[in-house]
Structure 1
Amino acid sequence: MERQKVRGIFPGILVLFILFSGLTGCRQQAEKPQVKETGGVSQVINPAHPLKGTIQVEAEKTFELNPYKVPDFNLKYFWCLRDNQQIILYDPNEPAAKIFSTDGAYLGSFIGVGQGPGEFLSYTGFWLDFEGDEIWGVGNMKVARFDRRGQLLGEFKIPDLPAYFLRPDCYLTDLTVMENNRRVKKLLLKKIDQNETTAATVELLKGPELGMIRWSDRAGGFSESYGTDDIIWSMNKAEARIAVALKSNYQLKIFDQAGRKVMVIEIPAERVSISNEDKEKLLQAVFGMRKGPEETVKKMLAVYPDQLMMMLHLSYLPGQPAAPSGWPEFCYNLLL
């Protein structure tokens, strides 16, 4: 299962779609990417001016699940985990999970709030994932293993929060440290051995002052998606690949499960400049509902960057095999 930013599902009917898209109305000839080898790593340089056109999307409803028809379904907010065997709806804040078959039949519940075996505390970064024929619950610096019926198989401790498993023996995590009086955020790939202890750590990407726009006159700062630089990533568990990038730089680095860089994908591009007037409109839209918005926005304007980020999100396309060239296929939110 690919992992990147699992979507929250709000109360209502869960509808899964298969999307079919076609590209029409293209008026320019596509430039070809340049590919070169650098130290044994494929470096793909895509054209600065990609093909433009009109995308027509048709959607066909293939499945519908209304969990609120289940008598004991009491989740007010939930995420969805799905593969070809099961559908699991779970609350990441107040850990609880409901299992359904792929045809919508309710199979039962598991996971609870607490500190006992198979339980997790509230608001501790809890999430679920499939590992082969098992369901893994991760949060509060531990991993609980369940079978497909929700029966607890065992659990083990990990030294990190958060932790996103690429394979049963390796996971992604991030941490922020102080280097030369600057906050440096790092994305790490950690390997664990048969004793479930850390055997190796590989640094995939790092950068200073990520995830926050700092105040100029005091400690701390604020975060806002369009102007805050940060590390974004996506993993493809089927092919054991991890794509990572900085939001401010259109350069994707692809790593394998050992942490070896296998490909670099980039586009020559410049960040979009933004006027003070547009900054104010943007910040008002994001923070305007807070107490004392005018004074708050005024302080934010003084430190908000003059250019927007290049990317907002990064995700492997679900269910897509690699292209004939061997290149991965991604979905981007771009601000070019």
Structure 2
Amino acid sequence: MEKSIIIFLTGICIASTLAVPLHLVATPAKARLPLGAYGTSAVFDGTDSIYIIGGDSTEGRLKSVLKYSISTDEISHAAILPHGAYYGTATQTKGGDIFYHGASILDTPSTEIYKFVPSTSSVTKVGDLPEENFMSAAVQDGDDNIYFLGGSLAKNAIVSFNTVNSSVDQVYRLPISYDYIAALSDNFGSVFIFGDRLDGSETTEFSSTVKLNFTTFEVIIGSETLPKFTAPPAAVWDAEGKKAYIIGGYGNEKDGHYSDTIVRFDPETMTHELVHVDGFPVMGEWTFDSTSAVFVGGLNRIYFFGGYSSDGEGQEGKVHDNIWYIDV
């Protein structure tokens, strides 16, 4: 598997922010994180609990695994990581186990893969990545396999991890490298990748969605109309997998990529639109990034946790302790 097929999609018409069909609203939950945090990772258990893992704060790297109850709007401590960690990535198996990998531990990028079992609150190390990494993406492929994609120190890596026997394999290299990356599986053997491409397009103010098939390694590249990501975004599917939403990581008023919007992506056409969100954490020249998000299908709602906002000049910044939700 040394070659990949690359297909470019051109001439696709994308809805601009001037023709947004509706406004969404970001509503703060009553509960807040114990500390303002960014670089967390969030997982929804499919019933009532959302787990928020790690993060960075004004008091340093966080060891906490928090549990947010949707029904009671309360947050509690669920477990403790061996080390303070942030910018890791978490996925959950159908059996309920959560795997967390590729974090920066204290100030050092890590190879460690942890398994968190919510029913027992146990956290154990179960493996190591081939190389140190953080700020990567992860998607589930079937019941037993997780793919880790890209990252700050392994920008084009594809690593597979078997959740049953804890085996790790460097299976391929992405034909496109990424700085900031988010990814979503289509549950049919392919993944949609959103991020800051490092293939010459980084000189523009636009990016594009990439679809990668894990069997053939065929790559389809969408039109270069997606906002350029300058910081880590979060991405979630809706309940039926018909639309994806990307939260944070961009902001460029000149090109209509307003920071108080979220991206709504159509996987069938690989097109998107930017939807304004009233009550979003930032607007104007300020940008918002490094949040974690989940989609709760029963409520048709996005929850996102903490994050970091900064002004256009990078002179001022804020670490958020809010929990927000957006009904879509």
| TM, length-normalised to structure 2 | 0.50
Q: Which has the higher contact order (CA 8 A, sep 6+)?
A: 2
Flag the structure with larger Rg: 1
TM-score (norm 1): 0.49
